[in-house]
Structure 1
């Protein structure tokens, strides 16, 4: 029987715990340590290595070593904080970029020249914890409660679920870290008639998290959240590093940053690794001692080749003066949360300290000075509290698991989710003993829908407020803007810490019927306990209901974000005829309907095929019929219908030349693109003839021939699927007479017939 665990997937460190008769942290790694560094590296063989070992061997793995991947979960490359990470090569030596084929809403890390999503990196950490737990517990671990910061939005939680899926874990719950901490402090063991209000102060390595919890007899209600996802122990480390380098530069009268940059790559990474180790050691030492010294010898030389040794003494007094503004910010954020939630400080029974940075004496002193010593509670090992709380909840959930499709709680053994009606046959169920912890969640962010596309006057309407009890459902009415509107865009946002709108996702639905302007659209927005957003739209005039597929920032986003610009470009071009516009809209509707009916993962290559269909429809509409070179038609046919059989490099080249032709600034450039397409498509002429056979199979004027052609085409595709190209050629040769005088259709017709 599978076992369930609790996991604190942290920015700096991760912890795994298990509860049976007692709660215990499971030691991980070869040295059996409670804390597993949230660090993933790639060794020379191309294999992943996870945890404390690669971190301690920074010099060996950099730049192919990733830390703080949690900060990138659900983030976008356009986020200013992500750009800061990208620029800080001392802290984050790995590459940070947008996903190839993705939008500015995506982000990937780069190791050994290969792209990895933050979910893939986090999955390696989760997999390591899962495997270590399975060994220590003597049985396969299949399920977990995984903790996330209280401020995590829907995209970030979705990314966490994806990481768990990649690691082979079924998510019982995504639990807010502050709630997990309160459970670990024993708040779940309160008497039935006992009520308390806790403020959880979670100052971790990469994030600062606040939450107000009302606890009553083992039940928890989240009443407000706050914090800063870009504030944590990493920032303290950075301040110490900057101070040490500054003092060393002054002592030796050199530009030490320049010397470091001029080091050979391996020596530079060796220096950075040693500096990191020293900074962490000094930070911990200053919690016990009045001073500590950072010493780095034989790593740097001046321009004359003379050694420059670093030996900088840091007193606790200086250390506290450096970090005081950061600690003060945490107090200011407490005040903001109390004001926002209308909880006076005297109604808070206790402030619970969690996270490694909460161990710093100045943190505790400033909290005690402001709120009173009696209010402050701390455990011996606050860095383990979150995982322990997750383990307690994991144990208490019994046979309840989370639907991987919609995120709602379902009984184990259910074959179909009663909420989203997706099949659950692939889920391996698990049985654990039942307990008594109940957590009532609330929304952490406001949710908005964009109601205007005017770039100069973008307007949003709030659909769900923050601190709304979860799960929740909100019904709203909106209306079509023009007569016979065929396509409706749904763009959802949440509020971010910097008062900017953060995109949650983009989706579309179609209205095949001709409806008058201002026709009613009934939207249902639903959030489950993990704030996973689902959107359902009903058109009363037709009775049609559609579940809107929302983008998640990967290849799906690149596809969905291309819909609106393509639509605007065609429909606002006075040189395009009405018939062409109508044909384009018809094809675009088919693309959107395909998206609505598919269940592709955000990273699936199928999104590229859908985008190819969109580009093809746009190409037809924006190109004069008489000017369309046959090479463009053939390339689009081959990509849309036979893309999976074409080499990746050739597909990329075809798409590049199609785009180059479309955006060419001169006839010479267009001609060059056509010539390159001619060379590329000639390699796959077999597919073009197969496509003509398919057209013959749909000839309504000669049903006998059509039936024979369709049988032959199916045999042709079966041969291709088996990898038997010669058999496919033989089938075409034997049925060449069925093609007869059929010619290639106009480009627009190619999007209507898909294969496989």
Structure 2
């Protein structure tokens, strides 16, 4: 049998599993990363000696930290798949389409994976969310772009599989053959949350996966949204979001524009604030600001010019993760002329995310209803992804089926492993 790859291309992290001789193995494709079988989904470009150099994964993060604003750092590329306005971006004089950027990541994963197994691989099963967009045009565009990117990366036989179905495949692999169960799968990524109700464990379903799927559902709410809410409610004020300055031409008070405020809450959009007009508006605010407000706006200028949004949001994510096991945490960030020690309690965090969790809860309810399954008929709930550890989210499933039925898996690799199992059926 020919080898095949399963690739979980994620918003924040990606992973690769290889199916070789009916054996599936996760590959260590991110050297230097403490989680070597999970690749940071980042690209970093820098120009030196007249040449453009590119880096991915952990190596890209290190280059970014060392060189910062001197280069071009890109993450959360997956989130733009359904963005019709993203046609191309210019990096050091060369235009790149979104497909070409994603292909660069996939090509590195393909090359590293082939080196590890010592064989060329033409077949891949790529993970995809249940829905890229509820808009038909955006949905079709995202699907086409992902397939085109895989082709550009050098794959010849390309299949897509929904990420929660792949996660269920990984869970099913641990069950005795012909022990059928009805499973509700929740796959919580950085950019989306996807759900599937399906029958697993039956050898017939293992061959014909589509017949085992009872329903699917999903929405674009993920870990990045929760980080953004901590930024908005606890951290953003250190960067002048509350500053109000009297206009030079009237008695009206003015502050940062809605566009600036919006981009500030999403770290991968902070570099977009480098536009001269945006920086000029911030400088105008500084002219009329008092000493305290001027310092806050200077913090914002450094955040933009020194490009340290990634490091700041890493601190926010660390605090968020702690809140899954503790009642309180602190966002600690001391660098670039600023010292932040902002406490946040689990109660505060749950208040911030409650509206989003209600939307997730409604999606789970609809997914079960579409399957024609009552909660008591569910034999197991299989959860994967970092946000599945948030107590308020776990409570959605504990309330329906009981804590004893909830199974968890590695947050970063279970989808890739399931995709590897799917790939083995095609090889």
The question of a shared fold, defined as TM-score above 0.5 by the shorter chain, is answered with yes
What is the CA-CA distance between 1:348 and the residue it aligns to? 2.6
Structure 2 distance, partners of 1:320, 1:237, is 12
CA separation of 1:371 and 1:258: change in aligned 2, threshold 3 A: farther
Instruction: State the SS of the aligned residue for 2:352.
Output: helix
Larger RCO, structures 1/2 (Cα 8 Å, 6+ apart): 2
- Conservation of the 8 A alpha-carbon contact between 1:48 and 1:124: no
Residue equivalent to 1:233:
223
Residue equivalent to 2:127:
147
- Of 327, 332, 336 in structure 2, the residue corresponding to residue 290 of structure 1 is 327
Residue equivalent to 1:330:
360
Structure 2 distance, partners of 1:209, 1:395, is 24
CA separation of 1:169 and 1:317: change in aligned 2, threshold 3 A: same
1:23 correspondence with 2:43: no
CA separation of 1:265 and 1:189: change in aligned 2, threshold 3 A: closer
1:163 correspondence with 2:156: no
Residue equivalent to 2:393:
363
Structure 1 distance, partners of 2:109, 2:30, is 9
Structure with higher Rg: it is: 1
Structure 1 distance, partners of 2:391, 2:294, is 33
What is the CA-CA distance between 1:6 and the residue it aligns to? 1.0
What is the CA-CA distance between 1:256 and the residue it aligns to? 7.1
Number of residues of Structure 1 aligned to a counterpart in Structure 2? 357
Residue equivalent to 2:181:
196
CA separation of 1:367 and 1:256: change in aligned 2, threshold 3 A: farther
CA separation of 1:264 and 1:377: change in aligned 2, threshold 3 A: closer
- Of 371, 374, 393 in structure 2, the residue corresponding to residue 344 of structure 1 is 374
1:14 correspondence with 2:9: no
Structure 2 distance, partners of 1:227, 1:141, is 31
Instruction: State the SS of the aligned residue for 1:43.
Output: strand
Structure 1 distance, partners of 2:52, 2:97, is 16
CA separation of 1:264 and 1:222: change in aligned 2, threshold 3 A: closer
Residue equivalent to 1:206:
191
Residue equivalent to 2:255:
none
> After the TM superposition, which segments of 4 or more aligned residues of structure 1 sit over 6 Å from their partners?
none
CA separation of 1:377 and 1:290: change in aligned 2, threshold 3 A: same
What is the RMSD computed on CA atoms of the aligned residues? Answer: 2.7
What is the CA-CA distance between 1:264 and the residue it aligns to? 8.0
- Of 382, 389, 394 in structure 1, the residue corresponding to residue 411 of structure 2 is 382
Scaled by the length of structure 2, the TM-score of the pair is 0.75
What is the CA-CA distance between 1:224 and the residue it aligns to? 1.9
Q: Greater helix share, 1 or 2?
A: 2
What is the CA-CA distance between 1:257 and the residue it aligns to? 6.2
Structure 1 distance, partners of 2:342, 2:350, is 16
Structure 1 distance, partners of 2:146, 2:236, is 39
**Any stretches of 5+ residues in structure 2 without a counterpart?**
133-138, 243-290
What is the CA-CA distance between 1:143 and the residue it aligns to? 2.0
What is the CA-CA distance between 1:394 and the residue it aligns to? 1.2
Structure 1 distance, partners of 2:75, 2:296, is 22
Scaled by the length of structure 1, the TM-score of the pair is 0.44
What is the CA-CA distance between 1:316 and the residue it aligns to? 2.7
- Conservation of the 8 A alpha-carbon contact between 1:148 and 1:175: yes
Residue equivalent to 1:39:
42
- Conservation of the 8 A alpha-carbon contact between 2:14 and 2:412: no
Instruction: State the SS of the aligned residue for 2:336.
Output: strand
What is the CA-CA distance between 1:15 and the residue it aligns to? 0.3
1:65 correspondence with 2:73: yes
Instruction: State the SS of the aligned residue for 1:205.
Output: coil
Structure 1 distance, partners of 2:102, 2:68, is 18
What is the CA-CA distance between 1:128 and the residue it aligns to? 1.4
What is the CA-CA distance between 1:195 and the residue it aligns to? 3.2
CA separation of 1:160 and 1:171: change in aligned 2, threshold 3 A: farther
